[in-house]
Amino acid sequence: MAVARMNVNCSIQSSLSCILKPSSFFSFRTAHFKNRLYLPQNNFVSPKRSLLCTCSSNSNQANASQTGEKAEAFVITTPLYYVNAPPHMGSAYTTIAADAIARFQRLSGKKVIFNTGTDEHGEKIATAASAAGSSPREHCDVISQAYKMLWKDLDIAYDKFIRTTDPKHEAIVKEFYSRVLANDDIYRADYEGLYCVNCEEYKDEKELLENNCCPTHLKPCVPRKEDNYFFALSKYQKSLEEILAQNPDFVQPSYRLNEVQSWIKNGLRDFSISRAAVDWGIPVPNDNKQTIYVWFDALLGYISALLEDKDQPNLQTAVSLGWPASLHLIGKDILRFHAVYWPAMLLSAGLSLPKMVFCHGFLTKDGLKMGKSLGNTIEPNELVHKFGADAVRYFFLREVEFGNDGDYSEDRFINIVNAHLANTIGNLLNRTLGLLKKNCQSTLVVDSTIAAEGKEFKDTVEKLVEKARFHYENLSLSSACEAVLEIGNAGNLYMDKHQPWSLFKQGGDAAEAAAKDLVIILETMRIIAIALSPVAPNLCRRIHSQLGYSEDQLDNLNWSETKWGGLKGGQVMAHPQPVFARIEQIKEDDNDGAESPKKAVKKKDKKKKVQGVIEA
Ligand code: MSP
């Protein structure tokens, strides 16, 4: 039985802290968690004096409101992805969700800073590089680039991409380490325990499966004995308990908060923040024989990402550009790092805590977490090239309840995407535009407000839009998609009930009513294009341009424009073209002419084969 053992054997680092520690503290108020404190610049802050404080954070400058007041920026982050292997659908999932939230917040008029990046140091990366026959740096360059390319293919509009091998990041990590040291929170000790290289974490034996296997990676943990620097996490037990009790929204969904609270209640153990045996990392300040533990390094990426290359690479500048983050989006496997270690580290360094950590579930295959270590991944590039970015984004956000696990199946993917995007939305638009072309020269006969006078339908749409907004705001992305789809369903029901195609045949007043019905449905499509744009941006751009707007107009809209009344009489619609081509599943014949059970996915129209979904 491996026993975790720790001996404090020296305090070089603590003596250094005396040099780094300021001789006097500044007076400041303690603040409620959600408020910001503005502190004198260039000073270290003692967490003993204040739980939450920040170095003069003025990220709010970014978004001056019309009244001239400074509004707060919405800063959202994804985890920094390990570059041991190229991205898989599980890693893409967090980023797609973050992008949808960022797009929604931009639509709502917020200045958004959306940060992502890659986590490039540590044993796991060095081992992967050597297995690939590359130097760690070359390896990181290649895989980090693969992430950037995938984000482009998935229409991810991030603002900052940080690599933990970037020199500005290294400078931030070293400064942060020195602050924590100056606060007497780092000491040296021996450690012996069981290590999971894939998690890059010492494990508690109680959490392990048979043969000391890691429950996430199903691989045995290895016994390790090291002389390391430790972070005094235990010192922050009480502060963390208080913060969580006072700020129950800090960890979401709420059942995750219970999990975090019970970890803390069971007692926090100091953790090792350096590695003696790992070269591929940032050297510990004043001890080049050790490198900084990859998590202590990577978490700082949330702050270093805020810096531009032209900026001074120091904490004060970085913090002033947008710290604290409004929302860290993470998967459930890295909750402890974000809801326990990271807040304690920030308290130690005298920096504000992020406002919220939202923890989503896993994409699974056969019930197991899809991942590089288990090798049961779905290739996101393949999905995107086969089905298009909108379909991939829509499927995972609609089908996986944000927070819960969700299983992928190709059949389900095709059914959902066809039913929702091709039929409910795409067909509705196409058949309405077809009727308008045939009967009204593609021109709207009246303003949409006039067309909807006295009709309950308009209220139904407005209620559903508000429902979608509420769900986006609360990060219930699946429910937001559902509310938008309900608008599409209502539109289809309206068409089927009023049958404008027969009314046109009757002529006179009936034809006039039919022409108004088309305006009503097209206004509904305009609203859908805005409301679904965070999830399926390209599809919505195509819908919008079918309504006679220019290509980029949708990008400059505000959520308030989902209000009924945008389309005006006389407006000319574009030539009707399918905005989302149905995905056909065909059974391929094998060589003997017998039917193969394997399904191939193909467009009906060969010309549209690969790009058909994207550019139909
Ligand atoms: N490098 C750390 C994060 C450091 S953040 C300062 C890391 N990287 S990771 O590449 O292993 O995972 C990144 C994110 O992808 C995590 O939030 C993880 O939960 C998520 N996913 C990885 N596989 C996943 C699924 N199968 N399903 C959903 N998300 C999962 O952890």
Reported as a pLDDT band with limits 50, 70 and 90, residue 607 is very low
Q: What is the pLDDT of residue 7?
A: 43
Residue nearest to atom 29 of ligand 1 (CA): 90
The span from the CA of 244 to the CA of 351, in Å, is 17
Q: Ligand 1 pocket, 324 CB below 6 A? A: no
The predicted structure's pLDDT at residue 225: 82
User: What is the pLDDT averaged over residues 532-538?
Assistant: 98
Q: Are 311 and 317 in contact (CB under 8 A)?
A: yes
Q: For residue 521, how far is its CA from the centre of ligand 1 (angstroms)?
A: 42
Cβ neighbour number for residue 13 with a 10 Å cutoff: 24
How far is residue 302's CA from residue 74's CA, in Å, rounded to a whole number? 14
| Shortest-distance atom of ligand 1 to CA 369 | 26
pLDDT over threshold 90, residue 599: no
Mutate to test the pocket of ligand 1, among 82, 91, 408 (most ligand atoms within 8 A of CB): 91
Mutate to test the pocket of ligand 1, among 84, 161, 197, 334 (most ligand atoms within 8 A of CB): 334
- The Å distance, Cα 81 to ligand 1 centre, comes to 6
Per-residue tokens: 135: 């130097």
Mean pLDDT within 429-438: 98
Q: Is the CB of 86 under 6 A from ligand 1?
A: no
| 368-369 and 363-365 beta bridge pairing | antiparallel
> Which of the four pLDDT bands, split at 50, 70 and 90, describes residue 216?
confident
- Measure Cα distances from 374 to 364, 369, 371, 377 in Å: 11, 8, 5, 8
- Nearest residue (CA) to ligand 1, atom 13: 81
Residue 525 — pLDDT band, cuts 50, 70, 90?
very high
Q: How far is the CA of 492 from the centre of ligand 1 (A)?
A: 40
pLDDT value of residue 16: 33
Beta bridge partners of 51: none
Domain 13-30+53-60+73-365: state its class.
Answer: alpha beta
The better pLDDT of the pair 198, 472 is held by: 472
Q: Would the pLDDT of 282 be above 80?
A: yes
The predicted pLDDT at position 38 comes to 25
Ligand 1 nearest-atom number relative to CA 361: 28
* Interval 403-419 mean pLDDT: 93
- The predicted model gives 42-50 an average pLDDT of 31
Query: Which atom belonging to ligand 1 lies closest to the Cα atom of 84?
Result: 10
Q: Does the beta carbon of 362 lie inside 6 Å of ligand 1?
A: yes
CB 551 within 8 A of CB 543: no
pLDDT of residue 616: 33
What integer is the mean pLDDT of 287-295?
A: 95
Instruction: Please report the pLDDT score of residue 441 as a whole number.
Output: 97
Q: Is the CB of 47 under 6 A from ligand 1?
A: no
> pLDDT by residue (tens digit) across 543-579?
999 999 987 788 889 999 999 999 999 999 999 999 9
Query: What is residue 70's predicted lDDT score, i.e. its pLDDT?
Result: 53
Whether 163 is in the pocket of ligand 1, judged by its Cβ within 6 Å, is: no
Ligand 1 pocket member 400 (CB < 6 A): no
Residue 240: exposure state from Cβ atoms within 10 A (0-12, 13-18, ≥19): buried
The answer to whether the bond into 253 is cis (omega within 30° of 0) is yes
Which of the pair, 201 or 179, is modelled with greater confidence?
179
With a 6 A CB cut-off, is 371 part of the ligand 1 pocket?
yes
Q: Considering only CA atoms, which residue is closest to atom 19 of ligand 1?
A: 331
Model pLDDT for residues 454-512, shown as the tens digit of each residue: 999 999 999 999 999 999 999 999 999 999 999 999 999 999 999 999 999 999 999 99
pLDDT at 371: 78
Burial of 361 from C-beta contacts in 10 A (0-12 / 13-18 / 19+): middle
171 touches ligand 1 (CB under 6 Å) = no
pLDDT of res. 10 = 36
What's the length of the chain? Answer: 616
Architecture of the domain whose range is 410-579: Orthogonal Bundle (1.10)
Which residue from 191, 190, 200 is spatially nearest to 122, judged by alpha carbons?
200
In the predicted model, what is the mean pLDDT of residues 211-232? 88
What is the position in ligand 1's atom list of the atom closest to the CA of 82? 10
Mean pLDDT, the chain, whole residue set: 85
Which residue has the CA at smallest separation from atom 5 of ligand 1? 79
Across residues 410-424, what is the average pLDDT?
A: 95
pLDDT for 606:
36
pLDDT class of 588 with cuts at 50, 70, 90: low
Helices 123-131 and 136-153: angle between axes, nearest 10 degrees: 90
Q: Is the CB of 504 under 6 A from ligand 1?
A: no
CA atoms within 13 A on the CB side of 548: 16
Ligand 1 centroid from CA 451, angstroms: 49
Structure-token pair, residue 499: 């049958």
Q: What is the pLDDT of residues 339-366, one digit of tens each?
A: 999 999 999 999 999 999 999 999 987 7
Rounded-to-integer distance, Cα 3 and Cα 5, Å: 6
Q: Is the CB of 90 under 6 A from ligand 1?
A: yes
What would the mean pLDDT of 169-178 be, rounded to a whole number? 98
- In this prediction, residue 29 has a pLDDT band, given cuts at 50, 70 and 90, of very low
For residue 80 and ligand 1, the question of a CB distance below 6 A is answered with yes
Answer whether 334 contacts ligand 1 (Cβ < 6 A).
yes
Q: Closest residue (by CA) to atom 17 of ligand 1?
A: 331
- For range 67-79, the mean pLDDT: 78
Helices (H), 400-498: 410-417, 428-440, 448-451, 456-473, 477-498
Asked whether 408 lines ligand 1 (CB < 6 A), one says no
Q: What is the pLDDT of residue 472?
A: 98
Which of 81, 121, 160, 161 is the best mutation target for the ligand 1 pocket, counting ligand atoms within 8 Å of the beta carbon and taking the most? 81
Q: Which of 84, 88, 119 to mutate for ligand 1's pocket (most ligand atoms within 8 Å of CB)?
A: 119
User: Residue whose CA is closest, atom 24 of ligand 1?
Assistant: 90
The per-residue DSSP string of 73-138 comes to PEEEEEEEEE-SS---HHHHHHHHHHHHHHHHHHHTT--EEEEEEEE--SHHHHHHHHHTTS-HHH
pLDDT of residue 41 exceeding 50: no
Closest alpha carbon to 269 in 295, 300, 239, 230: 230
The residues facing 120 across adjacent strands are none
Q: Is 65 exposed, middle or buried (0-12, 13-18, 19+ CB in 10 A)?
A: exposed
The pLDDT, as a whole number, for residue 370 is: 84
What φ, ψ does residue 454 adopt, rounded to 5°? 75, 10
pLDDT per position as a tens digit, 98-149: 999 999 999 999 999 999 999 999 999 999 999 999 999 999 999 999 999 9
Is the beta carbon of 196 within 6 A of some atom in ligand 1?
Answer: no
Domain coordinates in residue numbering, the chain? 13-30+53-60+73-365, 410-579, 582-615
Whole-number pLDDT of residue 489 = 98
Q: How confident is the model at residue 65 (pLDDT cuts 50, 70, 90)?
A: very low
Helix axis angle, 389-399 relative to 410-417, nearest 10°?
100
- Tell me the CA–centroid distance for residue 539 and ligand 1, in Å: 28
Q: What is the average pLDDT across 390-419?
A: 94
Say yes or no to pLDDT of 398 above 80: yes
- Does the beta carbon of 303 sit less than 6 angstroms from any atom of ligand 1? no
Residues 6+ apart with CB under 8 A from 29: 37, 50
Do the beta carbons of residue 351 and residue 43 sit within 8 Å?
no
Predicted confidence at residue 233, as pLDDT, reads: 98
Q: Which of 48-57, 155-164, 205-214, 235-244 has the lowest mean pLDDT?
A: 48-57
Distance CA 435, CA 437 (A): 5
Using CA atoms, how far apart are residues 273 and 202, in angstroms rounded to an integer? 11
| Ligand 1 centroid – CA 332 distance (Å) | 9
What is residue 375's predicted lDDT score, i.e. its pLDDT? 77
200 lines ligand 1 (CB under 6 A): no
Query: HSE (CB half, 13 Å, CA atoms) of 309?
Result: 3
